[in-house]
Amino acid sequence: MAIFNHKKILRKEILEKRNNIDLIKKEEMDKKILDQFYESKYYKEAEKIFIYISYASEINTKEIINKALKDKKKIYVPRTEFETRHMDAVEIIGLDNLIESKYGILEPSIKEKHIDPNELDLIVVPGVAFDRNGGRMGYGAGFYDRYFKKINKENISRIVKLALAYELQMLDKVPMNARDVPVDYIITENEFIG
């Protein structure tokens, strides 16, 4: 229970800091992060990318999605079922045909079919806080940790799990439990960690 409360307080503190970033500064930091992402071999080599659609104060992934589609990459975004905590990756060809969930997040329709997670090359993982060992603290629903469990052993080490974060989201140590899956790389406005 103590780790849960600690995570809850930490999550609230970091989200508050992230929500209060000056918008002009946020645009500058986003640009530095996105430039590093595009230059990385992980983006260049990936054909099938699973990426969340940015929401609220998250780093602008809509720009990544549009560029990746122009670069002829296959793009998959999350479709979630909050009651069952189930998530699928669904291919999109643009940001236009998406539906706003009851949480205000854009998602593909329930009619669209999803990809087998074992076929992905790169997963851009959202999160509230990270540490230099790949430790990640998400939003608390466990969607991604559950999703990673659907990927078999040889593929989980092949598929790159990469996070985009502001420096202020980096902690010395993220509290993690056995179910939490670390990320392989983190890109901040200042560095590429991995």
Binding site members for substrate: 53, 58
Which spans in the chain are helix H?
A: 2-19, 23-39, 41-45, 61-70, 143-148, 153-158
Residues tagged in the binding site annotation for ATP:
7-11, 136-144
- Residue 180: both structure tokens together: 């939490």
Neighbours of 34 (CB within 10 A): 20
Residues tagged in the binding site annotation:
7-11, 53, 58, 136-144
Beta-carbon contacts of residue 124 (< 8 Å; ≥ 6 apart): 49, 50, 51, 52, 61, 64, 162, 163, 164
